[in-house]
Amino acid sequence: MQAFQYQDRELFVEDVPLAQIADTFGTPCYVYAESALTQAYSAYSNAFAGIDHLVCYALKANSNLAVIRHFASLGSGFDTVSIGEIRRVLAAGGEAGKIVFSGVGKSADEMRQALEIGIHCFNVESVNELERLNRVAGEAGKRAPISLRVNPNVDARTHPYISTGLKNNKFGIAYEQALDTYRRAAALPNLNVIGIDCHIGSQLTDATPLIDALDRLLVLVDQLGEAGIRLKHVDIGGGLGIRYDHETPPDVAAYAAAIKQRLAGRGLSLLLEPGRSLVGNAGVLLTRIEYLKQGDGKHFAIVDAAMNDLMRPSYYQAYHQIRPVTRRDDAVATYDVVGPVCESSDFLGKDRELAVQEGDLLAVMSAGAYGATMSSNYNTRPRGAELLVSGDSVRLVRARETFEQLIANEIGLLDGND
């Protein structure tokens, strides 16, 4: 995380001390480094240079409008899984023609809106969805551009909650059923079959399963061509992991070289849908220690951030490095870093060696992906602010919620419920 470095004893984001951000905007808050977003996106765009490709940022990782706008300014497309995410892309200035719409449960209303907006492609995940989309497109007098998400039954060897390419997962069309499903799609009058898609999981630290999945897709592409169904693009999804602790993520350039070799001479454009690898290491969750508590054989650092702010540790048993914002020479102790939410699962990290005092700031690292987007108001806790830093400039890109905002959709209904 090159954008987050110590200068003397203070942790900085780019040219700004994190302590200054905490003093100005309060805690907990998310802080993103614009340079890290640019660097991560450029790694993909440079690696796949020389072939027709579109990097579609997976919005579910971090859907802040400022983050979306920054990627749009770099030429990015967008992978979305709801009409809300599509509308976020448009609100941030993204191009409708660079949006792909994924997800297993698209409603008819979402389909109608996406058709009207003019998105690039629907990634269809079931025969029933094909039939619905054909009907909705016909009613709208349009032909829907589609790609079938094929489930290649490849083990991503990642956490089971973020593995999506096995036959027992809810995602995609079974590999063995793909040819027949494509034939059905090609026969439907209101669909335009343009691509093939897969996504086998997230946080992969070995690119081999991703390459295996592409190889299986390309067998299908050849079979489809023999059947007279010629595709325009192949969408290889996302999934490349990042370093949270001691992981060794795949090299993007080597991954791209393997992809480019397999696509050479096929006349197919390439779509890819990175999310975590674009934003994960571009952000931190900044939190302040409220109390240091000595339990029965266990030290606790009780902070003002909680599982509602960052769900990953309690939900996935995920590991995030936790760094003191100010380095001290005090004695080091082993702490569980926990929040104030009334759950034993409310922790940000366990057994961490820290030299800290009450009132100190901590930075939970690698929190740019699936942090703010998965946050909630559990225990009636307002979600924190989000800041975007560029050089020595700090921009508030999402204000901290207020209590009044939390109850706004309820307060006017009180009299009617008495």
The Cα–Cα gap between 273 and 372 comes to: 20
The domain 34-277: what is its CATH number? Answer: 3.20.20.10
Residue labelled with tokens 């749009």: 72
State yes or no: 239 annotated in a binding site.
yes
State yes or no: 274 annotated in a binding site.
yes
The Cα–Cα gap between 93 and 114 comes to: 16
Give the per-residue pLDDT at 1. 67
Cα-Cα-Cα-Cα dihedral sign, residues 340, 388, 203, 375: positive
Indicate which residue of 29, 56, 121, 342 is catalytic: 342
State yes or no: 138 annotated in a binding site.
no
The Cα–Cα gap between 94 and 82 comes to: 15
Residue 343 has which token pair?
């759950």
Is residue 198 part of the annotated active site? The answer reads no
Q: Rounded to the nearest 5 degrees, what angle is found at the Cα of 26, between the Cα atoms of 87 and 320?
A: 75
pLDDT tens figures, 118-148 = 999 999 999 999 999 999 999 999 999 999 9
pLDDT tens figures, 42-83 = 999 999 999 999 999 999 999 999 999 999 999 999 999 999
Residues 6 or more apart whose CB falls under 8 angstroms from that of 222 comprise none
Query: How far from the centroid of its chain's Cα atoms is residue 323's Cα?
Result: 23
Give the per-residue pLDDT at 45. 97
The Cα–Cα gap between 412 and 384 comes to: 25
The Cα–Cα gap between 54 and 56 comes to: 6
Cα-Cα-Cα-Cα dihedral sign, residues 22, 28, 34, 35: positive
Domain(s) of CATH 2.40.37.10: residues in the chain: 4-32+280-410
* pTM, entire model: 0.94
Domain(s) of CATH 3.20.20.10: residues in the chain: 34-277
Residue 85, beta-bridge partner list = none
pLDDT tens figures, 207-243 = 888 898 899 999 999 999 999 999 999 999 998 999 9
The Cα–Cα gap between 395 and 406 comes to: 24
Which residues of the chain, if any, have pLDDT below 70?
A: 1, 155-170, 416-418
Residues 6 or more apart whose CB falls under 8 angstroms from that of 147 comprise 100, 121, 122, 123, 124, 193, 194, 195, 196, 197, 233, 235
**CATH number 2.40.37.10 given to 4-32+280-410:** yes
State yes or no: 358 annotated in a binding site.
no
Residue 85 has which token pair?
């995410």
State yes or no: 370 annotated in a binding site.
yes
Q: By the 8 A CB rule, do 70 and 32 touch?
A: no
